[in-house]
Structure 1
Amino acid sequence: MTAQDAGERLRLLEAGASPEAVLALFDSLPAVRVEELVGTWRGNGIHTGNPLDGLLERFGWYGKRFGGPEDAHPLLFSTSGGRVVSVNPAFMPVGTLLSVADKVKSPVVAALFRRLVPVVTTNKPRARLRVVEYRGVSSAAMVYDALPIYDPFRKVDDHTLLCAMDLRGLDAPFLFVLRRDAA
């Protein structure tokens, strides 16, 4: 499959798809090398029926930033002032979020989170980049320092990644896209 075909298929799936359809595309894509990830990436989830669908976006998720193998910032958020900051994932109660995901999608909770962002920001990297085997392919992945999460990446093209957040306790991965930030 060409990068153009993969990109077109991804655009169709981004409107919402079954996890199986998105994972079929994921499995068809080539591996990514760690050094290809350096930079800032904008993210968006793909609605597949996962409990996390839309949750990060509601809270102002911007994406991820990678400075190198030991310098990964897994959770970038936009502030109400328009700045992009790195949030420490250790302050994100992922297990609790999963159990109440339908309730925390309210605008009130999102507004509260945005007020708390300055308290949970960090300048330190909170994840690392490693090559891991996932679904039979060894590719770059981001491994969180404080949470049982890793995000394997596959290359759609030089500026687009299809990603699968693998979280202990989640039946299926949360699927999302990263696009290289032009800024």
Structure 2
Amino acid sequence: MDAVARAERLRTLMRGATPDDVLAFFDGLPPVEVADLLGSWRGAELPTGHRLDGLLGRFGWHGKRFEGADAAHPLVFDDGRGGLVEVNPALVPLGLVVRLAGLLRNPVAAAAFRVVRPLLRTRRPRARVRMVRHRGVVSATMCYDALPVHDVFRRVDDDTLLGLMDLRGDDPPFAFVLRRQRA
């Protein structure tokens, strides 16, 4: 499948897909090198019925930023004033978020997050990128410093990646898309 066909398939999946459909698509995508990730990326959730579907967007997730193999920012959010803020994933109670995902879909939870977001802010990178074998293919993977999370990437085209959040004990994985931001 060429890049044009892969992009079209992704557009179809973005309207909603089963985890099996997304995993089959992911498995057919080419790997990504660490250098290919450098820069800022706008994120979007790929709806599969995962319990985290809809949460990142509701809370203002913008995407990810990669400065180098040892300097990655996994959680970049809109700051509500036209800027961006990096959030320290170690300060996000991920286990609680996963267990209470249904309750967090209300406007009160999003408003509360906006209030505490300044307390979660970091300027330091909170992840690294390494080449990791996942589902039989070695590809660039963001390894969070303080959480049992790896975000594994495959290439849709030069400016679009499909990511899977590999969280220990969470199956199937949460799927998302990253689109390169040009300066």
Could you state the TM-score of these two structures normalised by the residue count of structure 1?
Answer: 0.99
Number of the residue aligned with 1:83: 83
Question: Given residue 19 of structure 2, which amino acid in structure 1 is its aligned partner?
Answer: P
List aligned pairs for 1:31-180, cutoff 5 A.
31-180=31-180
Question: Given residue 16 of structure 1, which amino acid in structure 2 is its aligned partner?
Answer: G
Segments of structure 2 that go 5 or more residues without pairing to the other structure are none
SS in 1 for 2:152: strand
RMSD: 0.6
Post-superposition Cα deviations, 1:139-165, rounded to whole Å, max 9, x if no partner, equal 000000000000110001110000100
1:3 shift after superposition: 0.4
SS in 2 for 1:109: helix
> Partners of 2:182 and 2:151 in 1: how far apart?
22
Post-superposition Cα deviations, 1:1-21, rounded to whole Å, max 9, x if no partner, equal 100000000000001100110
> Partners of 1:15 and 1:117 in 2: how far apart?
30
> Partners of 1:89 and 1:32 in 2: how far apart?
23
Identity of matched residues, %: 56
Runs in 1 of length 4+ with deviation above 3 angstroms?
A: none
Question: Given residue 100 of structure 2, which amino acid in structure 1 is its aligned partner?
Answer: V
1:80 shift after superposition: 1.4
> Partners of 1:88 and 1:99 in 2: how far apart?
20
Question: Given residue 9 of structure 1, which amino acid in structure 2 is its aligned partner?
Answer: R
Could you state the TM-score of these two structures normalised by the residue count of structure 2?
Answer: 0.99
